[in-house]
Structure formats: structure tokens, C-alpha cells
Amino acid sequence: MNATPSSKHSCAGTTSDLDYASLTNPGLVDWFSSKYDLVPEALYYESNKAVLEVILFADKRGRFVMPRHLPYVPMSIRRVGPAVDRSAVSGLLEQFAKTLKARKFGGALALPPIISDVRAFQWAGFLVEPQYTYTCKLPYDLDSADARLKKRIRNVSRKGLTYQELEHPQHIYPLLRDASDRKGYKLGITLDDLYSLRAGLGAAALRTSAVRGGDGEVLSAGIRLLTPGATALGWLQATTPRGLSLGAAQFMQKEVLEELASAGATTYDYIGANIPSVDASKKRWGMNLHAYYVIQHPSDRAIREVKTRAYTWLKAARIRTNRYSTRTVDSG
């Protein structure tokens, strides 16, 4: 696929270029609500200079929670007048923080990168931790990538790999499931879930694509969330071990960036750069590193740390027990 934009951008940009309208898509909100048995609540804060809209999900106990696989809390900031007044936005965030303190929430909430001033949440007594993601303007300029990555992509053309948009998710799900098995985590999404999401969002908003080898095998596949005129999100992606060795993941990303630009996305969020191996792979594209912030109650943090320490201790104790049992059997 070859996009033909009028001009391509270097990755220079700020959080003001980002717009997470895809996360407020009613079809996506309904899907998360149905899958996790949650009730969506729209919160609206306004002043004479700005408007803040937030969608949160409440569980059966009325607590706000963050559904799994939702990258950020759906939020938007709209200006009233020629520009957003930072002090006005800060005031709206203070109101939002008061709502959270009054209603309570479970676990942690990840704010999108458009929220860079998090003092309101610190002042309200929440713990605030930075996380990171990579973003870029679209159309993307491959010259922003490092030399090794560009060479790897060029070499793909000699290996017979092809990129295609998919109408259905059945070719994507096996790769997602196998990747979760290899890496030891629970995927938590079924093929029926993906069909349901596709039905609710439509093909234009839920972009599914794959890279195939010369023999037709699907080597890499993924799902992106798209709203024209806003930020596209790299939601789910998986590549087979063979595909990794052939450069299918890099080829996929290049084609995806061109496709999303052609479809009207103005920026792209790669979603997440918080694991060293993931960061090493993503930073080669030369995109912007942006912070986003995760907020939680101090009590929830303490509980999580206790559980982590307990799990670590039990795991170590199990290993010691197994070693002792092995030595006992061998000595008998």
C-alpha cells in the first residue's frame, strides 16, 4: 500500500496535536460496558473558556474502574474561544479530581497524554505515576526512523511479504492468542468479542490488517482504532516468531502508518513504552516520547504492593520446596 499525501511530517509535535476521540466512540464504550458488565457514566465540566468531557465506567458497587484493554480514560478538552486557557483547564481538572474523591474508584486510572498537568490529582491526595508512550504526526516520514530499521523494511520486499487490510478478525485472533500463550499472560479477549466489536464500530473505525508470507501464512496482524481528524491508536498487535525473524512487524507498522494517514488520522499513538524490550523496538521509529499519568488511591497502592510481595515470597518458597523435594528423592 502506498499513500500519496501532499506532505509528510517529521515526528515533531506536542500533546496539543493529540485527540483521543476514538476512545469516546459510542460503539467502543458500549463494547467495554457489555464485556465487563459495567455502566458508562459521562462527566461534563465547563467554564467560560474550556469544556472537559470524561467517560468513566462504574462496577456493580458504583466504583469507577478501568476496563482491561482500555488504554486511557476516554477524555476530551474543547476550547471556548481562540485558545484553551491552561488555568481554566486546571480548574476543570480540579472538579474532576473532586468527583473521583467523592465517588471512589478501584485500581488505577490512566489519563490520556493530553493531560500533562496532574497537580489537581496530587492536591486531592491521589498517587500519580508517569508512564510513557510514543506518538507521531501523520503522514509519517520514514526518514525519522533509524538506519537499521529502514534497511530492515527495505529487505522485506525481497522476502515476498505482502500487506492487506482484513474484513474479519478470524486471522488476527490466533496470533493474539498464541502470543499471550508464549509470553505467559491471559489475553482476556475471545474471537466473538472481536466480531462484536467489529459490528459495533464498523470497518472504518476498527482497522484490521495482516502481513502474509509468500506461502500465505499470516505472520503479523493487528487492530487499530481510528477516527478521521483525530489520533489513531495501535490497539492490539501480534507477530509470529517466524514473522519477527523476517521483519514482518516492522513492515506491518510502516504500512499501517500509511493506511491510517490515508484514512484521515492526523496523529498516531503506539500505546505504551514501559517495558525495556518494547521501548527498544518502538523508539527506533523516531517518534515523540510522551508521558501519560496513572492515578490511584494510596490505599490501593499499598494493597497492590503487599500482594506483589506475598506473591514473590510464595513463588520463592515454592521453588525452595521443589528443590528440597528433588534432593530428597534423589538421595533415596
DSSP string, 35-69: HHT-EEEEEEEE-SSEEEEEEEEE-TTS-EE--TT
At residue 168, the pLDDT reads: 84
pLDDT tens readout for residues 134-162? 999 999 999 999 999 999 999 887 788 99
CATH number for 135-291 (one of 1.10.10.10, 3.40.630.30, 3.40.50.10490, 1.10.8.80): it is 3.40.630.30
Q: Is 39 within 8 Å of 55 (Cβ atoms)?
A: no
Distance, in Å, from the CA atom of 28 to the CA atom of 22, rounded to the nearest integer, reads 8
Q: Which pTM does this prediction carry?
A: 0.86
β-bridge partners, 225: 206, 233
Parts of the chain with a pLDDT under 70? 1-15, 81-85, 300-332
Residue 91, C-alpha cell as written in the block: 480548574
- In whole angstroms, what separates CA 217 from the centre of its chain? 26
Looking at residue 316, its pLDDT comes to 64
As given in the structure block, the three cell numbers for residue 30 are: 458500549
Looking only at the bridges linking them, the beta strands covering 267-269 and 75-79 are unpaired
C-beta separation of 221 from 209 below 8 A = yes
pLDDT at position 103 is 86
Secondary structure (3-state) at 92: helix
pLDDT at 326: 43
Residue 258 grid coordinates: 500509511
Domain ranges of the chain: 15-131+292-312, 135-291
Residue 113: predicted pLDDT: 96
All three cell numbers of 161, joined, read 511479504
List residues bridging with 172 in a β-sheet.
Answer: none
Q: Report the 10 Å Cβ neighbour count for 33.
A: 16
Task: Give the three cell numbers for residue 53.
Answer: 468531557
Amino acid at 188: G
CA 222 – CA 209 distance, rounded (Å):
6
Task: Specify the DSSP class assigned to residue 200.
Answer: H
Largest CA distance in the chain: 83
